[in-house]
């Protein structure tokens, strides 16, 4: 039975319907085995995030990720044929204009993405409206914007701490909801403001990362959650496993077995 025929296949509509109800659990996936494992665990929302630039490709930030990178990894995730709703990030500078956004989003959709995500508020509304007009569902991303971290001096700063920052976030969130955005990631937004955005938006699902417990759901970078990238763990993440250490141990144990032979 195909994924499309499954009665339990998660869709944009079913995910959006969680607004104000059960908390959404969302994780990143970058390849076939991780997508399959996460789907078997029951994760309903998978994002092929441009965070793969750091945790898979070894880049210092997301600005080095190309559209070809995103297409490649989206195809790998889609091959797992997950029940989860699968989305993909539009990478840095791939949505400078509405035409760019539509053309590049179509490549991600052809690779298996069921929605796309991009960073920004009112400044990218023309791109968002162009995507939605073509029938491509859109997930927003407000707060700390990783694709702009170089412009901010390489620092990941919490957003919404002052009144100006709070007002800007609320304005952007309201504008995204009015445009028809079904969900929005809130990254490193101060928890009171994240809660205010969540309560102010009656239709748009908020998905927090490092923004407190007041959002409609939470998303994490999977290698952070399972300790698969042990060289750096964000302060807001408590790893539930240490797979990096397990791999080191397994390899050393195997090498010791070879020596004994």
Q: Tell me, yes or no, whether 233 lies in a domain.
A: no
- Number of structural domains, the chain? 1
Asked whether residue 152 carries a pLDDT value surpassing 60, the answer given is yes
Asked if residue 242 belongs to a domain, the reply is no
Q: Which of 147, 149, 143, 152 is nearest to 196 (CA)?
A: 143
Q: What is the CATH number of the domain that holds 48?
A: 3.20.20.60
Q: Note the pLDDT tens digit of each residue in 14-65.
A: 999 999 999 999 999 999 999 999 999 999 999 999 999 999 999 999 999 9
Structure tokens at 167: 């007002």
Q: How far apart are the first and last CA of the chain?
A: 47
Whether residue 89 lies inside any domain: the answer is yes
Do the domain assignments include residue 75?
A: yes
Domain-located, residue 247: no
**Phi, psi values for residue 70, rounded to 5°:** -65, -40
Tokens of 18: 């969680």
pLDDT tops 90 at residue 253 = yes
Q: Is the pLDDT of residue 3 over 80?
A: no
Candidates 114, 119, 187, 196; catalytic one: 187
Query: What does the pLDDT look like over 118-141, one tens digit per residue?
Result: 999 999 999 999 999 999 999 999
pLDDT at 106: 98
β-sheet bridge partners, residue 27: 46, 220
Residue 230 located in a structural domain:
no
Domain that holds residue 68: 3-225
* Spatial distance between the Cα atoms of 80 and 77, rounded to a whole number of angstroms: 6
In a domain, 63, yes or no: yes
State mean pLDDT over 98-109: 98
Residue percentage of the chain with pLDDT more than 90: 92
In contact, 144 and 169? CB cutoff 8 Å? no
**Does 152 qualify as catalytic in the annotation?**
no
Residue 6: the pLDDT is: 57
Residue at 256 is within a domain:
no
């Amino acid at each position: 039975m195909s994924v499309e025929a499954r009665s339990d296949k998660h869709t944009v509509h079913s995910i959006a319907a969680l607004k104000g109800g059960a908390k959404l659990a969302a994780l990143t996936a970058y390849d076939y085995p991780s997508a399959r494992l996460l789907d078997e665990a029951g994760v309903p929302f998978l994002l092929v995030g441009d965070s793969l630039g750091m945790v898979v490709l070894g880049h210092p930030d997301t600005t080095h990720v190309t559209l070809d990178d995103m297409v490649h990894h989206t195809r790998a995730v889609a091959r797992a044929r997950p029940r989860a709703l699968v989305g993909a990030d539009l990478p840095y500078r791939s949505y400078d204009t509405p035409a760019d956004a539509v053309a590049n989003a179509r490549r991600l959709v052809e690779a298996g993405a069921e929605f796309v995500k991009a960073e920004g508020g009112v400044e990218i509304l023309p791109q968002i409206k162009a995507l939605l007009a073509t029938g491509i569902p859109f997930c927003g991303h407000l707060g700390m914007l990783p694709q702009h971290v170089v412009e901010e001096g390489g620092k990941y700063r919490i957003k919404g701490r002052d009144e100006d920052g709070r007002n800007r976030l609320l304005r952007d969130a309201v504008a995204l909801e009015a445009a028809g955005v079904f969900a929005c990631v809130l990254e490193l937004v101060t928890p009171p403001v994240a809660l205010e955005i969540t309560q102010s938006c009656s239709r748009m699902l908020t998905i927090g990362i490092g923004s407190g417990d007041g959002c409609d759901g939470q998303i994490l970078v999977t290698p952070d959650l399972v300790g698969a990238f042990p060289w750096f763990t964000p302060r807001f993440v408590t790893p539930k496993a240490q797979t990096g250490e397990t791999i080191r141990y397994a390899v050393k144990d195997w090498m010791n077995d070879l020596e004994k032979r």
